Amino acid sequence: MDIRSEGRRYPRIPVLLDAPSDPEPVRVARVVDGDTVALAGGERIRLYGIDAPEKEQARGAEATQALESLVSVAPGSTVLLRRYGMDGYGRTLGGLTLEGREGEDYLNHEMIRRGWAWAYSKPHDRVKPPRAYINDQLAARLEHRGLWQDLFPQNPADFRAERRNRSAAAPKPARKRRRHRAKKPDRSGSDSE
């Protein structure tokens, strides 16, 4: 929820740890979208340092399928999770690696390598992707991999901003006005004349 004061909206600010946690094995229940998974216990993990298209956005379904194929979501898929903190929506920011794979945050990085996510960077939020993410995003773009097959793919942050602006500009439904009825005259025939 945004914090509102006197009509102003304040952004949701992530809370980052000073250093990522040690990897811990977790079970993936399902892939929510191209940059979020749900764990068996219900906890949602937002992949740290990447931003994939939204489900309703062009290439969003394909980005979700790409992450599903990487996680190999079979009942109870196990991955290693490194926690970086919490985002402004209460999701854990994390890096996921398949057991037996080399490299930190393999799944996060692989989504960028394959061209299904942007390297997510918000300096005011202290979210800075590794330099390798930025380099691999450029390589994916030059080689037209994933969402970079489109000439001008829309950044998910821009898509979300447009969606917010459309909903804010939409006319609010008119409130129904209650009609006050005049009292009907008493016609019971009991005149006192």
- Single out the catalytic residue among 59, 82, 83, 91: 91
Any idea what DSSP says for residue 127?
Answer: B
pTM: 0.75
Token pair of 6, please?
């006197």
Q: Is 101 in the active site?
A: no
56 noted as active-site residue: no
Q: What are 129-188's pLDDT values in tens digits?
A: 788 899 999 999 999 999 999 999 999 888 988 888 887 776 666 666 666 666 666 666
Output phi, psi for 168, to 5 deg. -75, -35
Cross-strand bridge partners of residue 45: 37, 92
pLDDT over 70, % of the chain: 75
Exactly one of 54, 82, 83, 113 is catalytic; name it: 54
Residue 8's pLDDT band (boundaries 50, 70, 90)? very low
Lowest mean pLDDT among 68-72, 154-158, 187-191: 187-191
* Catalytic-residue membership of 175: no
pLDDT class for 81, splitting at 50, 70, 90?
A: very high
All structural domains of the chain, each given as residue ranges with its CATH number in brackets, are 10-149 (2.40.50.90)
**pLDDT tens digits for range 154-166:** 998 889 888 888 8
What does the alpha-carbon distance between residue 132 and residue 112 come to, in Å, rounded to a whole number?
10
**Cα–Cα distance measured from residue 19 to residue 16, given in angstroms and rounded to the nearest whole number:** 8
Q: Between the CA of residue 185 and those of 178, 180, 188, 190, what are the distances in Å?
A: 21, 15, 9, 12
